Amino acid sequence: MVTTEQEYSVNTPQPEYPVEAAQKGMEGYVKLRFDIDEHGQPQQIRVLESSPANIFEQSAVTALSKWHFPKKIVNNLAVIQQNQTIKFDFELRDSSKSKIRKNDHIIKDPVLVEGIKKTFNFVTNNNLEQALSTARTLKPTTPYEQAFVDRILGLIYADSGDTQNAINYLTKAVESQLLAKDSQTDTIKRLAVLKSKSSNLSQ
């Protein structure tokens, strides 16, 4: 599992869990500082903090070196983004937790399912105002359903051109760590584009 201080990377291969650490049941974290060059590549990666020491650092550095970030454009030129930070949390999950997490990816409430279908129908017909109105009435009852609805709202706001609300809802959805893997990855990518757009507009 990986948490970051900024969810803005386009390509985020996960770090490998060190075999010996997994066998011993060891968990920990690594916090890194780095720069992003004009091409979106991480450079000057260095370890700020780690616990336990000398266990997870190499895996974290190797993973981050493969990441790719959106370019930052200032006055039509790509610039270096200095002193970025990221934290990798290395956590083991047992099989029972995994099963619970997998089962949580099911929406059983028929009322909520019907509301989601209506929302998607409005989106398909490009009626974003009605889609947003319907999505706001959805009443999730589980943490996963809440994350799912937050993602829907974020995507509709993004399509409507409301960048800030889109960022707010998509960030909540991602931070929950409850979305299915593909949805989580897609949402992170959408967030990256939106944050880059928002940053450029504020320049």
pLDDT in tens, 50-84: 999 999 999 999 999 988 887 788 888 889 989 98
Q: Is 80 helix (H, G, I), strand (E, B) or coil?
A: coil
Q: Which comes out higher in pLDDT, residue 189 or 98?
A: 189
pLDDT at 127 over 80: yes
Average pLDDT over residues 188-198: 83
Residue 182: pLDDT over 60: yes
pLDDT over threshold 80, residue 97: no
- Asked if the bond preceding 143 is cis, omega within 30° of 0, the reply is no
Q: What is the CATH T-level fold of the domain 1-92, as seen in this structure?
A: TolA/TonB C-terminal domain (3.30.2420)
The CA-CA-CA angle for residues 153, 158, 160, to 5°, reads 95
| pLDDT score at 202 | 59
**Quick check: do 1-92 and 96-203 share a fold?**
no
Number of other CB atoms surrounding residue 25 within 10 Å: 7
The architecture (CATH level 2) of 96-203 comes to Alpha Horseshoe (1.25)
Q: Report the alpha-carbon distance of residue 43 to residue 181 in Å, rounded.
A: 27
Contact 35, 44 (CB under 8 A): yes
* Mean confidence (pLDDT) of the chain: 82
CB 67 within 8 A of CB 14: no
Query: Distances in Å between the alpha carbon of 143 and those of 60, 97, 150, 177?
Result: 29, 15, 10, 10
Predicted confidence (pLDDT) per residue in 5-33, tens digit: 444 445 677 788 888 888 788 889 999 99
